[in-house]
Amino acid sequence: MDVVLWFLALGSSAVPIWILWRAGKKAKMLDLRLAQNDSSLLDEDGFIVTQMNAVPAGTRITHNAQVVMAPENGPQM
């Protein structure tokens, strides 16, 4: 009976450890992809972009649109 309890304890400990390991691995991969400016993150189902940092002044954000660079039609300073 003691052996069964040890296996139950091991099994119930392994699941949270696996979940934490998987989350850490996913976070590390996300950091790597962000550092490499991986544009496929914008189209991936598992990620939602809610904030953009360091965008040029006057940038307009359109959700669910392809990124297109276009010249500004106004006076240049």
5-46 pLDDT, tens digit each: 998 988 889 999 999 999 999 999 988 988 888 878 877 887
Please give the span between the terminal C-alpha atoms of the chain, in angstroms, as a whole number. Answer: 80
Structure tokens at 15: 């699941």
58 Cβ neighbours under 8 A, 6+ residues apart? 72
Query: pLDDT band at 55, cuts 50/70/90?
Result: confident
In order of 5, 52, 66, the CA distances from 1 in angstroms are 7, 56, 61
Whether pLDDT at 57 is above 60: yes
Alpha-carbon distance 53 to 30, whole Å?
16
Instruction: Look up residue 59 and give its amino acid.
Output: T
pTM: 0.51
Whether pLDDT at 49 is above 60: yes
